[in-house]
Amino acid sequence: MSRPIPPLSAAASACPPTLPPPTTASEDAFVAVAPFDEADRAAVYRAIATRRDVRSEFLPDPIEPVVLARLLAAAHAAPSVGFMQPWTFLVIRDPTRRAALHDAFRLAHAREAAQFTGERGERYRALKLDGLREAPVHVVVTADRHRCGPVVLGRTQDPTTDLLSCACAIQNLWLAARAEGIGLGWVSIVDRPALRAALDIPETIEVVALLALGRVDRLRTSPELEQRGWRTRLALADVVFEDAWGNTGAGPEAIVARL
């Protein structure tokens, strides 16, 4: 079920110091909200629908620091279990570090390619699975799973929830990037020890994701793995049940029919 949290070694971790309790017990503060107007709602749905995992479409233009800062702030605004904010974002532009990250991709890519044979193997080798050389900026997302000490509110039931928080941060960053005209590719094929060595990441810190970012002026209309025939998009009705597992009765079909 669970992904265990590795023990913290005696070596110093990069945890921030324990925060002092605030002097006031409660400062509840609310703001009135309403549904976004139609144009704003459409903008949110447009970011969600047109976001792509970019491999080949990166332009060489640099990303302005102010834009990069907005993307990082969007990521940092993500929800996190027990408000632990476990993430750290490494922004990599140094050519030597970049080359080392590309080596970490190639190492894992050769290993994975060997697992697909025959027609599937040919199809695999025809795919472009990273854009690390083309993208001007790399972002590595890590999790400090010890950041709040051993007992984290909400994480006691599932140790993986802190990693899920990091994925929410990545999705925030991805959607903000889409709105900024910046493409993002999540390079999941990467040798973790090589990546760790390339960026001096301590053993106490977990590597969550390697992202490639760069400006784009075109995107695929649907995922590359769909266009290249690797897999088909599932129907929404096939991934929704009502009230219990396996219940595809009138409920979800009625919902989906209204789409």
Chain positions 151 to 190 lying near a second copy, rule: CB under 8 A, are 151, 153-158, 160-161, 163-168, 170-172, 174-176, 178-182, 186, 188-190
User: Angle at the Cα of 79 (from 191 to 17), degrees rounded to 5?
Assistant: 80
- Interaction between residue 33 and a second copy (CB under 8 A): yes
* 200 vs 94: CA distance, rounded Å: 14
Of 133 and 223, which CB lies nearer to a second copy in the complex structure?
223
CB 101 within 8 A of CB 138: yes
SS3 174: helix
Judged by CB under 8 A, the residue of 7, 10, 118, 259 near a second copy is: 259
- What's the gap between Cα 181 and its chain centre? 18
| Residues ≥6 apart with Cβ < 8 Å to 157 | none
Q: Which amino acid appears at position 191 of this protein? A: D
* Residue 118 near a second copy by CB under 8 A: no
Residue of 148, 211, 212, 213 that binds a second copy (CB under 8 A): 148
User: Interface with a second copy includes 82 (CB under 8 A)?
Assistant: yes
Grouping H, G, I as helix, E, B as strand and the rest as coil, residue 139 is strand
Residue 192 binds a second copy, judged by CB under 8 A: yes
Rounded to the nearest whole angstrom, what is the least distance from the CB of residue 10 to a second copy in the complex? 18
Q: Does 252 bind a second copy (CB under 8 A)?
A: yes
Smallest gap from Cβ 136 to a second copy, in A, equals 13
Does 111 participate in binding a second copy (rule CB under 8 A)? Answer: yes
Residue ranges with strand state E in 61-104: 87-92
Member of 7, 10, 11, 24 binding a second copy (CB under 8 A): 24
226 binds a second copy per the rule CB under 8 A: yes
Q: Which residue has the tokens 């991709």?
A: 105
Q: Indicate whether 60 belongs to the interface with a second copy (CB under 8 A).
A: no
Q: Which is nearer to a second copy, 10 or 217 (CB)?
A: 217
Is residue 125 exposed (0-12), middle (13-18) or buried (19+ Cβ within 10 Å)? exposed
